[in-house]
């Protein structure tokens, strides 16, 4: 018999671990929070709102880490086995949400827990071990300061755990790299520095055994779910993106698209790469040549996913040469390739692997290296303090060398870059902040918004800083809008953000969202729970989640001034590509912001009024 209440498709229990006192508590899930904020990102944000004091240092014991599964986790719904982390980011100093593939979510929920709340700070390196009802805080000094794969292998060997989610070496430095991530097998929560928050609590890993608890959770309408899944798989297979392109090339498909649309930036957003410049090199054709086709691919893909967007590749250089691993995502291929002037998958694969072993976010790494290379190009760096050989555009050796320097905070430059581009530009000075590409401290991703203005509003209003995942407008803008206009962008961005908030709360993979439409979501949620959603509920719940997350940011002091775009995007026209000469002026972004705030019911400073949450 269940100890707590019964809410279909929820385990009903949250594990609360206090790293300071060693207390481990099993709290009943707040049913109203689950109904209102669903799971994953929304539910995590709701708990964080209660538990996180505004103004605290993200690397102090006062910070809180929350991991949440969703009502789809572990139910057998395709491509829905991810889970979400929320915390306060040491990179941006505001709210952070970040999801991950891998096995932690499914194993945790099948063990009888919807999520974990981690507070305080242990007196030495520890990992949390979970095997059904048995939860322990164990010594992790034997893996402190080790690379990601070594940590995972060592803890698995010692504990017998099936899943080990951990940080790498860069999190364990006395001053952790501010964009250190958390790694579940070959999948990760890269953005925003969750790994540094782990380390600040002396937490190295979470290890979970795949012990399945009988009746850990129950499904409301099992036969309805089976029928729905039967229909859904047909749609996923016939959808061109989820049935054909992603299985073949993974997210690299967007390399071709961005180059064709003239929005693929290069050399720290100084230039645009067009399709002929990348054809056969870092486009899908170039990627296809790298895929090790005879290798079993289950170790690079998420559980129960028919899309299988991950591909096996093998680095041809660097410390991990010859060892099969997961191929880069598009954003990584851009940041560690095009953004540093390299159009060669041999390099990108090795650089990706190095970042994943040090345990640092590939987008931020490519962002800070591109920034440093431009500083060197412009003569802003003291030649006595830096090695110019490591700051040459287009050099694989240079980028691999810089990854190592950042990963261990070596030398003056490696140390300042490890704090992110916003902080580094302040230390370098000489107006370098004009080409420090970030929003709210988070380095920008791969879509140059000067050629697709909705992505400008996306970066400006994304809840964790510059992020493409919260409202990816590219396809809609080129199909249904004028991409270099403010017209209609506020509504477009808000609509996608609200939908994505719900998908991240259920949790549905970003890629699968191309086939899992609102109609499917309603059928699925009403099969696994008794919530009785209608299609229009999705927008209402999504807006509720987004408003709450914005409050988490505004109570830390975020206002409209923080929603502006980097100087380069607002002041320097695009060079190259079909939208050459365009920029999003401050007037343009302010116009879109005011329309967007109005639609959300926020005031002119972008602050939600208390009656809309
Ligand atoms: S599409 Fe890719 S990232 Fe998404 S669930 Fe499947 S394997 Fe994981």
Does the beta carbon of 242 sit less than 6 angstroms from any atom of ligand 1? no
* Pocket lining: 79 vs ligand 1, CB cutoff 6 Å: yes
Q: Which atom of ligand 1 is least distant from the CA of 80?
A: 5
Structure tokens, 76: 């057998």
ipTM of the complex: 0.99
Among protein residues, the one with the nearest Cα to ligand 1's atom 5 is: 79
Please indicate whether residue 302, judged by its CB atom, sits closer than 6 Å to ligand 1: yes
pLDDT of residue 1: 40
Task: Work out which ligand 1 atom sits closest to the CA atom of 509.
Answer: 4
Q: What pLDDT does 515 receive?
A: 95
How far separated are the first and last CA of the chain, in Å rounded? 36
Name the nearest CA neighbour of 551 among 606, 504, 492, 470.
Answer: 606
Cross-strand pairs, 461: none
* Pairing outcome for strands 83-88 and 65-68: antiparallel
Residue whose CA lies nearest to ligand 1 atom number 8:
302
* Of the candidates 148, 152, 138, 155, the residue with the CA atom closest to the CA atom of residue 171: 148
Q: Are 448 and 460 a contacting pair, CB within 8 Å?
A: no
User: Torsions phi, psi of 187, nearest 5?
Assistant: -105, 155
- From 79, 83, 184, 330, mutation site for ligand 1 pocket: most ligand atoms within 8 A of C-beta: 79
Q: Is the CB of 236 under 6 A from ligand 1?
A: no
- CA gap 38, 259 in Å, rounded: 37
Q: Is the CB of 511 under 6 A from ligand 1?
A: yes
pLDDT at 213: 82
Cα angle 477, 479, 480; round to 5: 70
Domains within the chain, CATH numbers bracketed:
13-208 (3.60.9.10), 247-435 (1.10.569.10), 443-612 (1.10.599.10)
The number of beta carbons lying within 10 Å of the beta carbon of residue 50 is 9
Half-sphere exposure of 502 (CA within 13 A, CB side): 27
Mutate to test the pocket of ligand 1, among 73, 243, 246, 305 (most ligand atoms within 8 A of CB): 305
Residues 527, 224, 222: CA angle, nearest 5 degrees: 75
Q: What is the pLDDT of residue 539?
A: 97
509: Cβ below 6 Å to ligand 1? yes
**CA of 307 relative to ligand 1 center, distance in Å:** 6
Q: What is the mean pLDDT of each run of 10 residues along the chain (613 residues)?
A: 72 98 97 98 98 98 98 96 97 97 96 97 98 96 98 98 97 98 96 98 96 88 97 97 96 97 98 97 96 86 94 95 95 98 97 98 98 98 95 98 98 98 98 98 98 98 94 96 98 98 97 96 98 98 97 97 98 94 98 98 92 67
Task: Quote the CA–CA distance of 228 and 522 in Å, as a whole number.
Answer: 10
Q: Is 344 left (phi over 0), alpha (psi -120 to 50) or beta?
A: beta
DSSP string for residues in 71-87: TTTTTT-TT---EEEEE
C-alpha torsion angle, residues 48, 52, 55, 61 (rounded to 10): -120
Check if 307 has its Cβ closer than 6 Å to any atom of ligand 1.
yes
The whole-angstrom separation of Cα 62 and Cα 120 is 6
Whether 253 lines ligand 1, by a CB cut-off of 6 Å, is no
CA of 79 relative to ligand 1 center, distance in Å? 6
């Amino acid at each position: 018999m269940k100890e707590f209440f019964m809410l279909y498709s929820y385990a009903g229990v949250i594990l609360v671990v206090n790293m300071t006192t060693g207390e481990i508590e099993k709290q009943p899930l707040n049913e109203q929070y689950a109904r209102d904020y669903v799971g994953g990102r929304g539910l995590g944000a709701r708990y964080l709102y209660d538990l996180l004091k505004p103004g605290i240092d993200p690397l102090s014991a006062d910070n809180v880490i929350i991991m949440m599964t969703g009502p789809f986790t572990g139910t057998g719904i395709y491509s829905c086995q991810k889970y979400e982390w929320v915390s306060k980011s040491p990179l941006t100093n505001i709210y952070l949400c970040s999801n991950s593939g891998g096995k932690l979510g499914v194993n945790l929920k099948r063990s009888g827990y919807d999520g974990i709340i981690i507070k305080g700070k242990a007196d030495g390196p520890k990992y949390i071990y979970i095997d059904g009802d048995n939860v322990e805080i164990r010594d992790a000094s034997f893996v402190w300061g080790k690379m990601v794969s070594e940590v995972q292998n060592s803890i698995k060997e010692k504990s017998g755990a099936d899943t080990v989610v951990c940080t790498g070496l860069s999190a364990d430095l006395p001053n952790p790299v501010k964009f250190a991530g958390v790694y579940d097998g070959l999948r990760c929560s890269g953005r925003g520095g969750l790994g540094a928050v782990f380390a600040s609590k002396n937490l190295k890993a979470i290890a979970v055994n795949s012990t399945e608890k009988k009746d850990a959770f129950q499904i409301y309408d099992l036969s309805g779910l089976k029928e729905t899944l039967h229909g859904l798989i047909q749609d996923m297979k016939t959808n061109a993106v989820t049935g054909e392109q992603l299985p073949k090339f993974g997210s690299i498909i967007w390399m071709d698209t961005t180059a064709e649309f003239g929005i693929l930036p290069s050399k720290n957003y100084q230039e645009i790469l067009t399709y002929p410049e990348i054809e056969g090199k870092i486009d899908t054709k170039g990627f296809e040549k790298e895929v090790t086709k005879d290798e079993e691919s289950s170790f690079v893909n998420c559980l129960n996913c028919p899309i299988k967007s991950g591909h096996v590749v093998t680095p041809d250089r660097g410390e991990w040469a010859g060892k099969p691993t997961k191929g880069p995502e598009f954003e990584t291929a851009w940041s560690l390739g095009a953004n540093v002037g390299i159009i060669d998958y041999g390099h990108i694969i090795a650089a990706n692997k190095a970042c994943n072993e040090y345990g640092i976010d590939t987008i931020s790494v490519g962002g800070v290296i591109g920034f440093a290379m431009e500083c060197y190009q412009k003569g802003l760096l003291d030649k006595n303090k830096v090695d110019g050989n490591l700051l040459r555009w287009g050099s694989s050796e240079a980028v691999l060398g810089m990854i190592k320097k950042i990963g261990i905070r070596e030398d003056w430059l490696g140390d300042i870059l490890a704090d992110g581009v916003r902080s580094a530009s302040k230390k370098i000075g000489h107006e370098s902040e004009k080409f420090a590409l970030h929003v709210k401290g988070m380095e920008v991703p791969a879509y140059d918004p000067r050629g697709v203005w909705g992505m400008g509003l996306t970066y400006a209003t994304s809840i964790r800083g510059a992020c493409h995942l919260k409202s990816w407008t590219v396809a809609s803008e080129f199909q249904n809008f004028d991409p270099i206009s403010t017209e209609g962008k506020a509504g477009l961005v808000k609509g996608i953000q609200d939908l994505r908030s719900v998908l991240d709360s259920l949790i549905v993979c970003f890629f699968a969202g191309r086939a899992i439409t609102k109609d499917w979501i309603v059928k699925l949620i009403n099969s696994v729970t008794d919530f009785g959603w209608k299609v229009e509920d999705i927008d209402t719940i999504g807006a509720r989640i987004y408003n709450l997350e914005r409050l988490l940011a505004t109570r830390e002091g975020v206002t409209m001034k923080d929603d502006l775009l980097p100087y380069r995007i607002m002041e320097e026209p695009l060079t190259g590509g079909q939208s050459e000469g365009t920029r999003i002026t401050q007037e343009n972004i302010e116009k879109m912001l005011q329309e967007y705030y109005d639609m959300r019911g926020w005031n002119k400073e972008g602050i939600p009024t208390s009656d809309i949450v």
